[in-house]
Every structure is written in C-alpha cells, then in structure tokens.
Amino acid sequence: MKVNGEPLYRQMARMRFFEEALADLWERGLISGEMHLGVGEEAVVAGVTAHLEEGDAMALDHRSTPPLVARGVDLVSLFLEMLGDAQGLCGGWGGHMHLFSREHLACSSGIVGSSAPLGAGFALAAQHLGRGKVAVSFFGEGAANQGMLLESLNLAAAWKLPQVFVCKDNRWAITTRSRAVTGGDLVRRARSFGMPACRVDGTCVEAVWEAAGRAVRRARAGRGPSFLLATCPRPEGHFLGDPLLRVYREPLKQTLEIGPPLLRSLFSKPLQAFALRPLYLGIIGKTLAVLGTEKYLLCRDPLCRAARLVPEDTRRRIEEEAREEVARAVAEAMERRERHA
C-alpha cells in the first residue's frame, strides 16, 4: 500500500494548530496548572492513528490531545475541558491529562507508564470479543522503566494480545537525559519479550506510517503485540514555561533571576562543599548547552518535513482549513463558556 500524504498532513496540521491554540489559552491564564503539549509528536500520532478503524482503542499518556484530535473527538468539548468547564469532554474534571471518550474507546492518564496496562485491558477485551480490533498504547521513553509497563509487555506477549506499544523518544525524561537512567536498548528490551520491535524516525510520517501499518496488521491478524520506538523532538520542553527553555527565550531576564542565587549558593556554607559546586554548575551548563543544541540547531519539525508530501497549493489550503477549524472551535468554546457562566 502506498502512503497518501494529504490526509496525513491534514491530521498533523490539525494537531499542531490545536496545540498552539492550547498554548495561547494557557498563556492568557485561561487554563490552570501545567500544560504538556504534543508539539513535535504529530508524525508519530498521524502515522499510527491512520491505521486505526472504528472499534480500535487508544490508551494515552499526559500528552493526549493530538491522538484525540486525530481520532475525531469534538474539538469544542476538548477546549471546554481544558478550560475546566462542566460542558467539557469529562465535565471539566479531567484537565488535559485525564481524558476519556467512550465513543472513541480512548482514555488518558497522567500516571507515567499507565497507558501500557490500560492498552492491555483494551486489547484483552478486543481479543475476547474476537472482532479483529486492536489497541494502541502511547507513552514516552521516560515511562519505559516503569514496572507496570514491563509487566504489560510481558503479558501482551504471553497472551498474544492485539496491542501496539508506541514509545515516543525525545531522549529527555523531564530534565534528565534518558540514557542516564535506562539500561540497555529499548528495542532489544522489547524483543526480549518475544515481540517484533523496531526503531523509526518519528519526524518522518511516511516511515512511522509504514512501521505502524505492519504492527497494526499483525495485531489485527491475531499474531500478537509489537513495539515501535519513534524518535521525535519536543520543542516546547517538558511543559509550557519549561525553566530550561526560558533561559533561551528570556536570556536577560533569566540571567538576572537565576544568576544571583546561583552565585550566592556557590559561596554558601558549608564551605567544605565549595570544591564540588563548580562541578554542579558545569553539569547545569552542559544540560543547557545540549538542550539548546538539540532545539535550535538539530531539531527537525515533523510538520515541515511532511509538507513535501503535498503540492504547495494543497498545503496552503489544508493549513487554512485546519486553522479555521481550530479557530471556530476556540470561539465556540469561549462563547459557550461565557453563556454557561
């Protein structure tokens, strides 16, 4: 089967503009709490969800909105949910991390790694119902060391569950390099459970689409689970307002805010620790340098890469339609929110 770039690009554009609208609402103070965006994951999500059909299920992590947008969840109800409105998808109780749609067989949780056992539950139900349906679990590589995720890999393999594990790897577990806390290789780890596993460029939607297609077809045929490790960027950091990224975005302000306390801590008591403090400052500096290099020099935008799949006039039309769809949803959500207040 040959990849069709237009629907993939359309879904990616819808996801990107939805996330940008969320960021705008958050920055205006209309959404409370932390906000974990899925910007940078569009190719992974579009490439996988393109193979799903009615009756298939998704178990999601705390970056849940892109898959929900791709699966057709009402955008207005999502925006209302983020705004904490009772008319939202989950009555305003779920926020952006705990979203559920029975109609779409989709659920998300902020508990790191929980999408694996949730997906296994969906897959077990699909297996018993015998309708050729599958379940997909999305999670980050920071979750890959959680015990419940490893248990889910084991049970999915042992019971040949129709499940696809999709690990979104941006190489950072919040502010820690993932390789510093992960033993071995995640692809080989998944293979050790007896399931097919592969690494794929998560900024290339065609590559994800092909790899996900093999995994979904295998699950749908009753041959068991698969594991995809998709590398992708996270340009907005772990959450909006990420303090590491603020150093680059507001260098003068952050220097004035962070510099004096760091200097004071350098000479604070006990002085016996003085010799080690420059080392710790060096570690902080190295972390900032690596993050800046990845974000500003090496980062590849999956949406820009996917743009080559469609003619220029088609790309512009798709983007215009996607922006209008999101803008209409925001306007309707705000109007309903004010009317309901």
164 vs 208: CA distance, rounded Å: 13
11 vs 2: CA distance, rounded Å: 17
Instruction: Give the position of tokens 């892109």.
Output: 66
Query: What is the number of other CB atoms lying within 10 angstroms of the CB of residue 143?
Result: 22
170 vs 141: CA distance, rounded Å: 7
322 vs 327: CA distance, rounded Å: 9
Q: What is the 3-state secondary structure (H, E, C) of the chain?
A: CCCCHHHHHHHHHHHHHHHHHHHHHHHCCCCCCCCCCCCCCHHHHHHHHCCCCCCCEEEECCCCHHHHHHCCCCHHHHHHHHCCCCCCCCCCCCCCCCCEECCCCEEECCCCCCHHHHHHHHHHHHHHHCCCCCEEEEEEHHHCCCHHHHHHHHHHHHCCCCEEEEEEECCEECCEEHHHCCCCCHHHHHHCCCCCEEEEECCCHHHHHHHHHHHHHHHHCCCCCEEEEEECCCCCCCCCCCHHHHHHHCHHHHHHHHHHHHHHHHCCCCHHHHHHHHHHHHHHHHHHHHHHHHHHHHCCCHHHHHHHHCCHHHHHHHHHHHHHHHHHHHHHHHHHHHHHC
Tens of pLDDT, residue by residue, the chain (341 residues) = 788 999 999 999 999 999 999 999 999 999 999 999 999 999 999 999 999 999 999 999 999 999 999 999 999 999 999 999 999 999 999 988 999 999 999 999 999 999 999 999 999 999 999 889 999 999 999 999 999 999 999 999 999 999 999 999 999 988 888 999 999 999 999 999 999 999 999 999 999 999 999 999 999 999 999 999 999 998 888 989 888 888 888 889 988 888 888 888 888 877 767 778 888 888 888 888 888 888 888 778 999 999 999 999 999 999 999 999 999 999 999 999 999 87
Residue type, 186: L
Whether the model clears a pTM of 0.85, i.e. scores above it, the answer is: yes
